[in-house]
Chains A and B, each alone.
Chain A
C-alpha cells in the first residue's frame, strides 16, 4: 500500500518548500510530488552511496575502523572534548534546532569554538 504524506517540508535547501507530497511504501520513499529536481533526488536517494548505521572508532587514522556502540563512541567523544584545550565544533546546518540546542550546550560546557557553514 502506498501511503501519501502531505505538506512535508523539504529538508534540502534554504527554501524549505512545505508543500511536498511523499509516497511511502513499506517504510520506503517511492515517489514525491511538487519537489524540484534536487529535492526529489534527495528524497529518493537520501541514504546516499554509503550509509553508516553503527558508530565506528579507530585510534590511529591509518587503521581500519572498528564497529562500536553509541554509548562508547559518544563517551569517547565527550572525553576528547573535555580534555581538549581548544575544541572546534563545526557544521550544524543540516540538523534540526532541538539537536542544535543540545549541541550548543555541549559547546558551552566544554568551552569550544562553535561555527557553522555560513558562507552565506
Chain B
C-alpha cells in the first residue's frame, strides 16, 4: 500500500542474483515460506558478478524472533516486536551520521545499527526483501513507508532495491490486472459506478467488520480461517459463494461452492512473480471430468450478469 505513496526502486530477481552483494530480509523467513528464494535468487545463487554465491554476499536479517533464516545471517538485528518503525527511523538517522544519545533503539544496540548501516553504505548493490512481519506488525503500511524512505536514503550512497515477499503465487498478478482495469491495485470500490480506493474503508476486512457488505464472493482464499472473528461473524450472516477446489473453513459457512481446476497443474495461464515478471503456467495433467476452469466460470458469470443488468 505504501508502495504507491512514494514509489519504490525495483529490480528483477535475476538482477538481484547477478548483482546484489548485500541482502536484508526484514520480517520474513524465506527458509520456511519461500524455501528456494535464497538458493535460486537472493543469497546462495552464483550470479554473473557474484560467482562465489554466499561468500560474495552479506546477509542481514531483521526479525524479533530467532528463526532458521536468522541462523544463516551475518547480522541478526533482533528488534523488540512491533518496533519496526522505530528501528527504521534509527537506521535512517545512523545513515545520516547523527549521534544517538541512547544505548539502544527498539532493543537493538546502537553499535549494531551503525555497523549494519556501514555495511549497507559500502555495498555495491543492496536489496531489501520484506514480508508479513513488517506489514502485520504495529504501524502496518507505515512501516513499509519508512522502509522505502530508508531505501531512498541509501540510494544516495549506492544502488539499493526493495521487494515484497509475496505469499500466494499470483498476488502480484491480481494487482497488475486490477490496476490495468480500474487504476488501483486492490481494495477498489466500484459500487458507485466509478473506481474509488481508500484502504481502511474499501478493503475486504473493513466492509466485513463494519457489516456493510451484503454478499460475498470468495475466490480461492480462506478468510474463514484468517480473518478476525468479527469479519467472519458477518460472513456467516450474508450470502457467501466460494470458488475453491477444496473444502476449507470458508466453504463450511458458504451457500454456494463452485469447484474449479488448479491453474498451473490442470490448466495453463499466466502468473506474475514477486518481482513483477510474468511467467507462463503449464498444464501438466488433465482436469477431472466435468470440472470447469476459473476462466470458464468467470466468463459464464460475466455473460449471465450482463443478461441480468
Contacts and interface: CB of A to CB of B under 8 A. Distances in A.
Given A55-B256, A95-B220, A113-B202, A80 B241 contact: yes
B204 A115 contact: yes
Interface string A16-45: 111000101001110000001111000100
Contacts of A113: 187-191, 202, 204, 207, 213
Contacts of B33: 13
A97 B204 contact: no
Interface stretch (B47-55, B106-114, B269-277): B269-277
Contacts of A2: none
Contacts of B10: none
B219 A90 contact: yes
B269 to A, nearest CB: 3
Contacts of A16: 169, 271, 273-274, 279
Interface in A89-103: 89-103
Contacts of B202: 113, 115
Question: Taking chain A's interface residues, is the majority helix, strand, or loop, or is none over half, making it mixed?
Answer: mixed
B98 to A, nearest CB: 31
A86 B268 CA distance: 32
B236 A61 contact: yes
Contacts of B168: 13-14, 93-94, 117
A14 B305 contact: no
A27 B259 contact: no
* B219, B240, B297: residue with the most chain A Cβ atoms closer than 10 Å: B219
Contact of A96 (B132, B191, B239, B294): B294
Question: Taking chain B's interface residues, is the majority helix, strand, or loop, or is none over half, making it mixed?
Answer: mixed
Interface in B245-284: 245-247, 251, 253-260, 262-265, 267-274, 278-282, 284
B148 to A, nearest CB: 14
Interface in B151-184: 164-178, 181-182
A22 B284 contact: yes
B36 A114 contact: no
A99 B294 contact: yes
B97 interface: no
Contacts of B236: 61
Nearest to B1: A118
Contacts of B292: 70
Given A15-B36, A113-B191, A117-B221, A93 B215 contact: no
22 contacts: A13-B167, A16-B279, A18-B279, A43-B265, A53-B259, A54-B259, A65-B257, A75-B304, A80-B241, A83-B215, A93-B167, A93-B220, A97-B170, A97-B271, A104-B182, A106-B298, A106-B301, A108-B182, A108-B190, A114-B188, A118-B174, A118-B186
Given A15-B40, A18-B279, A96-B270, 17 more contacts: A9-B264, A9-B282, A15-B274, A70-B297, A85-B191, A93-B173, A95-B269, A96-B170, A96-B268, A99-B298, A102-B299, A103-B298, A113-B187, A114-B187, A118-B171, A118-B185, A120-B131
